[in-house]
Structure 1
């Protein structure tokens, strides 16, 4: 069943701009055109420390708009021990303490930002016609990053990867200047782009994925979260009908997103419109920046003012809600994610290919595209995992029937490659030895080849 989600015609109750605010919109529009915008070169990581980049002209124009539309009221608060049943609401709703004045205040701020962006959307900095991947990383997460990168290159894809770091403290010269460029990947430090204005805007760490998309130099971007890797080449995603028709492809989450009853009032939409939006797994997002500038701008606004809008929407609905508010189409994968293995730290979540999902009519099974697993993270027990000498995700036969390869063996091969790469600052011979031993014992010695080279 095809599920092309095209945003409905929304009631324009939020067109409340008075003459002074309209003047502000005109000033913003003029500044937007007068200052101009640089080429994508200002965002390129290359092999130099990102702080040497030119300031982002986009951010210099966008930050004042974010600051001018800041809510001027207290953020919403959930009452202690409140439950949906205690207030006789449907279980899909949550309770927030908000006065009528606070609801009107948030509505005005949100409406002002939406109208300013619709009046003169910022010109995002990207190189026309380009496509690539973007991800987030920390210094402690470089081993996981390398695993994901090796898995990407195993699919025969040569698409470039931009690795976004929050601050220069996360920058590792050997990784960013030597290792990653060999695999067509570059580092970009967000603080060097965001810290170029006088405006005091705080970005919550968990919301940084939206800014990775906002500042990526690619016109078409696939965001790939930490611990998510591809089972097949992502190149075909950019040519899929789902992406060509909408410019935005989203993958579902099994988690439930609770909706406050004040949401439709604040976002200026009819009752029931937002409640139809399913939770989204933002560990993979495919978007055209050319066609969805307004959506990314609104995602950034929600992220900056997460204290106000976070309780209203949940991070699981931030992109789909932004698309609906901006009346932009998107395609949501119809098939829910599939769990591999037992419910534990060693399990994995499978997401499907939009091309086969788009053409799929029930009953059918689309092809696998992404796998997300927690055991790739050092904080989630990778070292403990090495001591478990058995398969986690089912038999080899089942894996080959689903993905045409032994995906678990491939994943552990990439783990071994990352941990055994002698160029890595995190290289530890003992850890490498344990990874090799598990790979050989569980998956066979034939899987010991072609993990990326430069192994000790």
Structure 2
């Protein structure tokens, strides 16, 4: 009896402690995630009025905006089994960038399932076509800014890219979206980012709409990007992957003719587009005759929500139902399958204007022994002013999508990318100094490493993923000295 009473007292103390934590620091016990979970399953009562600080007004605004669309997207969900591929499409570099040819169909799907997908797509289109988006665009969004998806291993390259953004002279505000409260790092979100005119946004907060349908979507990895762009507070939005590094102040891109005339700028990938012709049947349209030969690359994207809110809603649909249906339909298993084609395709399906940058993507790489390894993709100014004169002139680089390896200070020193696998000699990642100066007008790699070292040394004990890495700052300096001599 005494043991039972003691257990009851312990349980009461634990419950009281959790209650105090809930009142004073809901993020500490994952209240945001618990609230989303309870909305779907009805297991835990929600007490939104008990938050320790007021909810961001923008979050409440987007919840009101998103709730009916969550219902519409849920009601338009595919009702068939996931799409299967006979085999994956080959990746081929086109000879030129247009016009696109219809790719061979590699999707295995019955006529009945194709008709069902067409009906589901048409159901959403009916609502989109009747939607007067301007009032929502003016009510929920304003200003110009940069959006990214960070958290976990993506905080490292994002911090380096944010430092590079500021080094260009850009003062654009930045919103970094995290999947849920488990990715929230107080030291970064409450101190480091605000000092650089950036802030953390938790995607799960926006999905806690009054309609519980909104919490039923499982979104992760590639799918996060479409909702981050849609939920961001900006009207004029530059999305950057966490590993896409701006090389100029991106504010100038919003005043280019390409943007002012269309409200949408996308960049090319290396490879020929490989979407299934069945996709166009599902979208109830004929194959467009004026598409570029290459698929699109979404490491950077400019969107005006006052003109393309419908585009972003349709892109969200393609991403929410991407892994099982629209990713294989739009890429057929080719390299990089994911969100990359969904945004431009949404504009094409809706017949809205868009601009695809015409300058082909260029590469930077490193020599590992006798093997050349690609390290990043150079994307160019959409209405390119030339750098240089005469035969040496070249379109101006605007972004370097440094995806292999990413400029994550902790990963770089621990995962072997900085040294030759045969000799252990420290390597340049982005071509020789001479080639870099020809491409960028400077030794860009040296400039970026300055930011990587500054970030790595300043935040080695703050970034959660770096805390247990030994001698991080010293090893970054050792690499810089070995490669650049200082």
- Relative to the length of structure 1, the TM-score reads 0.78
Match of 1:432 in 2: 473
| Equivalence for 1:118 | 129
| 1:350–1:372 Cα contact (<8 Å) kept | yes
In the TM superposition, what whole-angstrom CA distance separates every residue of 1:78-105 from its partner, at most 9, and x where no partner exists?
23x5779xxxxx9932322222221111
Alignment correspondent of 1:385: 417
2:320 pairs with 286, 304, 307, which one? 304
Asked whether the 8 Å contact 2:76–2:121 carries over to 1, the reply is yes
Matches within 5 A, 1:391-406: 391-406=428-443
Cα drift, residue 176 of structure 1:
0.2
Q: Is the 8 A contact 2:365 2:373 kept in 1?
A: no
Q: Secondary structure at the match of 2:383?
A: helix
Partner in structure 2 of residue 330 of structure 1: 354
- Mapped to 2, the partners of 1:153 and 1:350 lie a distance apart of 19
Q: Does 1:132 align with 2:145?
A: yes
Q: Equivalent residue of 1:259, what SS?
A: coil
Equivalent in 287, 295, 299 of residue 283 of structure 1: 299
Describe the SS at the equivalent of 1:300.
helix
Question: In 2 relative to 1, CA 382–225 (structure 1 residues): closer, same or farther, beyond 3 Å?
Answer: farther
Structure 2 runs not aligned, ≥5 long = 1-52, 91-100, 332-338, 420-424
Which 10-residue stretch deviates more, 91-100 or 177-186? 91-100
Q: Does 1:209 align with 2:225?
A: yes
Alignment match of 2:379 (pick from 351, 354, 357): 351
Query: For 1:51-450, what aligned pairs fall within 5 Å after superposition?
Result: 53-54=59-60, 56-79=63-86, 81=87, 92-121=103-132, 123-124=136-137, 129-196=142-209, 197-199=211-213, 200-273=216-289, 278-306=294-322, 307-314=324-331, 315-342=339-366, 347-356=375-384, 365-373=394-402, 374-376=404-406, 378=408, 381-383=412-414, 384-387=416-419, 388-422=425-459, 424-425=462-463, 426=466, 430-445=471-486
Q: Note the aligned Cα RMSD (angstroms).
A: 3.0
Q: Distance in 1 between matches of 2:59 and 2:145?
A: 20
Q: Output the CA distance in 1 between the equivalents of 2:386 and 2:122.
A: 34
1:49 to partner: Cα distance: 8.7
Deviates more, 1:147-156 or 1:65-74: 65-74
* Aligned mates of 1:110, 1:359 — CA distance in 2: 45
Structure 2 Cα separation of the partners of residues 344 and 126 of structure 1: 51
For residue 40 of structure 1, what is the aligned residue in structure 2? none
Indicate the structure whose relative CO is greater, using CA pairs within 8 Å and at least 6 residues apart.
1
Shift of 1:273: 4.4
User: Contact 1:139 / 1:172 at 8 angstroms: preserved in 2?
Assistant: no
Partners of 2:290 and 2:383 in 1: CA distance: 26
Residue pair 1:389, 1:442 contacting (<8 A) in 2 also: yes
Shift in Å, 1:316: 3.3
Q: TM-score, normalised by structure 2?
A: 0.74
Q: Which runs of 5+ in 1 are unaligned?
A: 1-46, 85-89, 446-456
Whether the aligned pair in 2 keeps the contact of 1:375 and 1:382 (CA below 8 Å) is no
The separation in 1 between residues aligned to 2:351 and 2:362, in whole angstroms, is: 30
Residues 126 and 217, structure 1, Cα contact 8 Å, conserved in 2: no
| Deviation of the 1:403 alpha carbon | 1.9
Aligned residue for 1:290, secondary structure, equals helix
Question: Given the superposition, is the C-alpha separation of residues 277 and 397 from structure 1 closer, same or farther in structure 2, using an over 3 Å criterion?
Answer: closer
2:299 is paired with a residue whose SS is strand
User: In the comparison of the two structures, how many residue pairs are matched?
Assistant: 392
C-alpha change, 1:344 and 1:65, in structure 2 (3 Å) is: farther
